[in-house]
């Protein structure tokens, strides 16, 4: 550990020497730069029931909500409660998930989250994590006490009981609230500090599809006659729904990401996080000579182009090819050299 800390000190000293101590201190203080000792990665039985995807709408629901009465694949219905707040169904789209980047939306993202973060899994014995994540979503919605309006198209259902917020976006075309993600809220975090003061009480207001009315008795008897451990689904929803389970695909994607992260950790010198807007240098993979150029690359290329100065840099980059063609046409030596390289 002493050697590692000394390594970090050497890198910081080289940066201060090259750019000036006040510059580096300000980057660290403002949260635009971190210098870490070592890049580390987080470590990644029951009856499996298949979730259901609606054939036409492509909305995804837990198995128990896939009934003939649920004609679109709706998780819950938000009634009219206050002017300015939507009154519409809540749905879950297929979406996407990027492992370890904490970006995604919809059912794939919900599935990936409970695989990456087992402590967020309300139903750990459920092998189908798509089903488990959707059932957990319904559980949080049923206990939601407040609805926050972040802007006219973004809303958060908050459950004080479970300390979770469900982030949704309003699809104006279909008039549906589409689930983006489920966000844990730490005990010290106040919902108003996270999502503002535009909110209404919704305890017990959400309407959920009838889960039992449309399941025929013969179907129930047929299921109980089979082995208890054998996953079965009723035939009452087969006209409208198909089985879906993103667990195997996402487990493989997450494992691949882990392996890549572990192998890359041996040679990654630095990276830039677009979501956090911070450049990170990895001291153990740097030398006093290489550190300044790596910082220039992360701040000057990724931070500048991806965030703060993108609007100014984009036209310049788009103009570069025509500028080169112009110089070559004039037989300009610099243009000819650039073209040859």
What local confidence, expressed as pLDDT, does residue 202 receive? 95
112: closest CA among 39, 44, 27? 44
| Contact by Cβ (8 Å): 182, 92 | no
169: closest CA among 116, 245, 93? 93
What local confidence, expressed as pLDDT, does residue 99 receive? 86
H helix intervals, 30-118: 106-116
List per-residue pLDDT tens for the chain, 341 residues long.
Answer: 344 456 889 999 999 999 999 999 999 988 889 898 876 644 223 445 678 889 999 999 999 898 888 889 999 999 999 999 999 999 999 999 988 877 899 999 999 999 999 999 999 989 899 999 999 999 999 999 999 999 999 999 999 999 999 999 999 999 999 999 999 998 888 999 999 999 999 999 999 986 444 333 333 333 333 334 444 444 446 678 999 999 999 988 888 877 766 555 566 788 887 767 788 888 888 888 888 988 888 887 777 766 677 777 778 777 888 888 899 999 999 888 888 87
What local confidence, expressed as pLDDT, does residue 311 receive? 76
The token pair that represents 64 in the structure block:
């128990």
Number of H helices and E strands in the chain, helices first, is: 10, 15
H helix intervals, 73-165: 106-116, 129-142
Interatomic CA distance for residues 10 and 147, integer angstroms: 50
Interatomic CA distance for residues 81 and 188, integer angstroms: 29
Contacts of 172 (CB under 8 A, 6+ apart): 153
Q: How many C-beta atoms surround the C-beta of residue 129 within 10 A?
A: 27
268: closest CA among 257, 254, 284? 284
The token pair that represents 17 in the structure block:
């020497």
What local confidence, expressed as pLDDT, does residue 275 receive? 67
Q: What are phi and psi of 77, to 5 degrees?
A: -120, 130
| Contact by Cβ (8 Å): 97, 252 | no
| Contact by Cβ (8 Å): 79, 150 | no
| Contact by Cβ (8 Å): 89, 76 | yes
| Contact by Cβ (8 Å): 281, 273 | no
What local confidence, expressed as pLDDT, does residue 220 receive? 36
pTM value is 0.59
Interatomic CA distance for residues 157 and 180, integer angstroms: 11
Q: Which helix (H) or strand (E) holds 88?
A: strand 88-91
Q: What is the largest CA-CA distance in the chain?
A: 86
What local confidence, expressed as pLDDT, does residue 46 receive? 40
């Amino acid at each position: 550990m002493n050697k590692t800390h000394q390594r970090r000190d050497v890198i910081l000293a080289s940066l201060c020497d090259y750019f000036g101590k006040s510059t580096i201190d300000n980057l660290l203080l403002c949260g635009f730069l971190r210098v870490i000792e070592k890049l580390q990665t987080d470590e990644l039985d029951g009856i499996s029931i298949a979730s259901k995807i609606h054939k036409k709408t492509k909305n995804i629901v837990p198995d128990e909500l896939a009934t003939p009465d649920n004609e679109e694949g709706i998780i819950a219905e938000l009634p009219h409660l206050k002017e300015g707040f939507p009154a519409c169904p809540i749905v879950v789209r297929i979406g996407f998930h990027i492992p370890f980047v904490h970006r995604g939306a919809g059912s794939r993202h919900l599935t990936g989250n409970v695989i990456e973060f087992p402590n967020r899994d309300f139903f750990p014995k459920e092998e189908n994590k798509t089903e488990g994540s959707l059932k957990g979503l319904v559980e949080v919605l049923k206990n939601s006490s407040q609805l926050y309006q972040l802007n006219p198209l973004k809303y958060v259902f908050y459950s004080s009981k479970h300390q979770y917020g469900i982030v949704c976006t309003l699809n104006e075309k279909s008039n549906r609230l589409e689930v983006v993600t489920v966000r844990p809220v730490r005990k010290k975090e106040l919902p108003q500090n996270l999502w503002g003061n535009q909110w209404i009480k919704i305890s017990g207001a959400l309407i959920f599809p009838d889960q039992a009315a449309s399941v025929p008795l013969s179907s129930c008897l047929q299921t109980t006659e089979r082995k208890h451990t054998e996953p079965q689904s009723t035939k009452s929803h087969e006209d409208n729904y198909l089985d879906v389970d993103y667990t195997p695909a996402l487990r493989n994607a997450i494992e691949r990401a882990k392996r890549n992260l572990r192998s890359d950790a041996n040679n990654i010198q630095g990276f830039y996080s677009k979501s956090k807007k911070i450049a990170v240098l990895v001291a153990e993979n740097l030398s006093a000579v290489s550190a300044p150029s790596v910082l220039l690359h992360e701040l000057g290329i990724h931070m500048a182009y991806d965030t703060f100065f993108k609007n100014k840099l984009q036209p310049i980059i788009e103009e570069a090819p025509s500028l080169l063609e112009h110089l070559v046409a004039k037989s300009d030596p610099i243009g000819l050299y650039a073209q040859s390289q």
